[in-house]
Chain A
Amino acid sequence: MTLDRKLVAELKAIVGADHVRTEAGDVEPYARDATPVFRAVPDAVVWPAETEQVAAVLRLATERRVPVVPRGAGSNLCAATVPERGGIVLVLTRMDRVLEISPGELLARVEAGVPTSVLADAAAAQGLLYAPDPGSRTVSTVGGNVATCAGGLRGLKYGVTRNYVLGTTAVLPTGEVIHTGGRLWKDVAGYDLTRLLTGSEGTLGVLTELTVALLPMPATTNTGVAYFGSLADAGRAVDAIIGDGIVPATLEFLDAKCIGAVEEYANLGLRLDAGALLLFGDDGPEDVVDRNLGRIGEQCTDSGALEVTLAENIARSEALLTARRCALPALSRLGTLTLLEDATVPRPRLAAMVDRIDEIADRHEVPMATFGHAGDGNLHPTCVVDQRDEAAIHRAHEAFGDVFAAAIEMDGTITGEHGVGAAKLPYLEARLGADQMALLRRIKAAFDPAGILNPGKLGS
């Protein structure tokens, strides 16, 4: 599909000629996001600067039945911004202002294209914490975080993005601008559309402005590391920690392969003979943090940890968190194609799930490394192969199919935080069942009668 010249001219009239591109070389960089393999070229890329422009573009698109794919930083890992049916990629990165930080109300108002870390820094400058902390925060946009309901490294104690969205300004595919929620913590007037839009992956509306909750900045943060002989031991330690009544901010794990890859990249002096590493951290008043980390350390030791150490200072603590954040790219250095998944199980079944993953990887003869958010039962099994080895890629996908099935069998899900996008749509029905799938489609149709907003993804 190519766009007719009249439509292109109309788009230019809305956002300005400089902010519409249609040439092959101009649209090529928007054919993909951070998801490997998936690629589809859009017909146009459009960069709006304000809500009204977004509304005008969507009205036009509905009228002409042209697909529109909203895009933030394009850092998602489920091909959610790949324009499977062509059309327009609508990039929100020009809308990048922090509109307001209100310490009195503990909230912030931002445009959707603000990078997550810019919001976090602006809040921190006023002594406030924006809690959602995805590994990609320097890149990802707040709009993208809300649209994917991004998780992060503090999810156990603080929850995920959903827990912080108070209100949105959203443009419906038909062009109406709606304001859901607002500056209120309590508001039950109507269906909770704020929550519905959160995690809607750009299929129900385009978010242009968000009101998010902030917290007082905790006085201190500290981090520690425990090494275990196996991931199963680490899993037991996680149960013991939470069983002891502690909900730490961070509880992350790396398996042996990940430890090796991260150490190779970051040279942090990680212990390479361990089978698993548990990274734990907490924030709050200093004495509470010290006490909690001490107790976590004890629980780890009792669960058979080989070694437990606490970060001696903030720099070291940051370095350890960075080590966790860079697990994926560090692994990618082992090959040329990095396939990553996001299966999630109830926390007590973490160790069992890890065993299943190992068994599946062996059976399909693919190398698989696993890291993830231990506290949330959220695993990222990762397979690094040669991108020209068709057979290996095929085997990896078969293996992931089995991983999803195993997760569902254990009362888990096919994706904990990365989303469905185009990548996991084929597996969605196995998780939701036919009735929910049908309901999703009816919801989608109510928002988007012409089916123009991010087609081929959720709700399709």
Chain B
Amino acid sequence: MTGPQQQHMATPPGRGIFDPALLDRCISCGFCLPACPTYAVSKNEASSPRGRITLMRALETGRLDEDDPRLREESSFCLGCRACEPVCPAGVQYGDLLEEWRDHQWRGRRRPPPAQALMMIAERTALLRMMGLVRRHARTAAPAQTSLMLGCFERGLFPGVSRAVRTLLPDIAVPPHQGCCGALHAHNGESEKGRELARTLGETLPGTIVTTAGGCAAHLAGVLGRDRVQELSEHLAKTGATPVGEVKIEGRRARVAIQDSCHLRNGLRVFAEPRALISAVADFVPVQGDDSCCGSAGTYSLLRPRDSKRILAPKLDAYEAAGVDYVVTVNPGCQRQLHGNLRRRGSAVHAVHLADLLAAAAGGRPLPRGRRWRVPQVRVNLRRRLRRRGASGGTAGWSA
């Protein structure tokens, strides 16, 4: 059919896999194409946000069934980075659509086994605590207005991060019995379970929840409300705290780049805050692509290691070409991805979490040293490492 006849066809009702209000929003304008990392590497529209939404629509109307190989492939090739959201002028909530898609596409035994395994671990609070016991992370039970949320895998992999936060925010409560926030589940086809875990964690953690994991922050904020949750840099910015000290290398200020956390940037629109903090203690170096996904993407680097590396490689090249000393991360997944892969390259660039950078600037634990450099010890009184901005200033520390 061509021409006006065809124009009169209305859209048929769907199968109920997707919320029609979400799916109808896309006008297929294509503005999201240049933002999508998987489209950039494939140049195939099926691997673009617009193409994936077209595929979702085909699934919804029954034109394609869930066993279609392209549907299966794209549901997992998508990083879930949500870079397509801020650029979408029509306000398509792609992240929500992806959750609905994976809920259906990855239900039951269709779920990739490694994702299943990780979710099972994350659901077991006891196991997570044990991971914490083996490698000591910060712990306190003091009640407070703000609580620190420990990313489940972060506590085992990077226990130093939460300790660094404790030196920056001495008054923050760090309840030991924390479960998983459920982001992992939400992104792997179990969005209801993901919401349930978030609600439970919300009950466990009193007051404002501060987290060092951008991905967890976005998920928690989505379930518990934007005002309950603050990522670390956001919290510091909101409370008006100014970092003190400097990170120096051989007498000069360190050159520091950033790797944004996708969900922090694209979901919560927090990206100016960590940059401002870095600029306060070092020379901030903007690097082309520092705002795009590093390929860690939750379980992605486990499920699709080759694609993950393909997306990461040009970014690491860019960081090295920029000649930076450190790349700051604001999410444990990114930290793991960058840390491991930079090390494998024998790179002189080190990945450090924002909390580590700030703590080191203030005289805390020194940062790992590069091949060519010595990291000098900056001696600053830990008690007076922070200065509050504004008229009310006077008390030390970051917390409100």
Contact = CB atoms under 8 A, between A and B. Distances in A.
A47 B89 CA distance: 28
A313 B34 CA distance: 27
Given A139-B31, A333-B25, 19 more contacts: A21-B44, A23-B68, A25-B58, A26-B70, A29-B48, A32-B54, A33-B28, A136-B29, A138-B34, A139-B33, A265-B91, A326-B89, A329-B27, A329-B31, A330-B90, A337-B11, A388-B10, A397-B8, A426-B3
Contacts of A336: 24-25
B392 interface: no
Contacts of A21: 44
Chain A contact surface mostly: loop
A73 B30 contact: yes
B314 to A, nearest CB: 15
A458 interface: no
Contacts of A93: 43
Interface string B37-62: 00000011110101100110010000
Contacts of A74: 30, 45
Given A37-B7, A73-B33, A388-B11, A28 B55 contact: yes
Contacts of A389: 10
B54 A24 contact: no
Nearest to B51: A29
B54 A390 contact: no
B381 interface: no
Contacts of B31: 136, 138-139, 329
Interface centre among A328, A336, A390, A422 (most CB of B within 10 A): A336
B378 interface: no
A179 interface: no
30 contacts: A23-B69, A25-B71, A28-B46, A28-B63, A28-B70, A29-B46, A29-B55, A31-B54, A34-B30, A38-B7, A47-B43, A91-B43, A91-B45, A93-B43, A94-B43, A115-B34, A136-B29, A138-B34, A328-B27, A329-B29, A329-B88, A330-B90, A333-B90, A336-B24, A338-B27, A393-B8, A397-B7, A422-B3, A425-B2, A425-B3
B89 A330 contact: yes
Contacts of A136: 29-31
Contact of B46 (A25, A36, A333): A25
B280 interface: no
A30 interface: yes
Contact of A332 (B27, B58, B74): B27
A220 interface: no
Interface in B59-89: 63-64, 68-71, 73-74, 88-89
A423 to B, nearest CB: 8
B51 to A, nearest CB: 4
A73 B207 CA distance: 48
A398 to B, nearest CB: 10
A93 to B, nearest CB: 5
A323 to B, nearest CB: 11
Contacts of A75: 29-30
Interface in A110-134: 115, 117
Contact of B4 (A26, A35, A326, A426): A426
* Contact-residue size bin, chain A (C-beta under 8 Å from the other chain): 35 or more
A201 interface: no
B391 interface: no
A148 to B, nearest CB: 14
- The 7 A-B pairs at the shortest CB distance, nearest first, are namely A25-B70, A329-B89, A29-B51, A336-B24, A390-B10, A25-B68, A29-B45
Contacts of A32: 28, 54
Nearest to B23: A336
B6 interface: yes
B9 interface: yes
Contacts of B29: 34, 75, 136, 139, 328-329
Given A388-B10, A390-B10, A393-B10, A139 B30 contact: yes
A387 interface: yes
Contacts of B68: 23-25
B2 A84 contact: yes
Nearest to A422: B2
Interface in B344-370: none
A426 B45 CA distance: 29
B369 to A, nearest CB: 37
Contacts of A426: 3-4
A31 B216 CA distance: 37
A182 interface: no
Contacts of A47: 43-44
Interface string A68-111: 00000111000000001000000101101000000000000000
Interface string A395-434: 0010000000000000000000000001101100000000
Contact of A29 (B24, B34, B54, B89): B54
Interface centre among B6, B51, B58, B89 (most CB of A within 10 A): B89
B64 A38 contact: no
Nearest to B28: A34
A388 B30 CA distance: 23
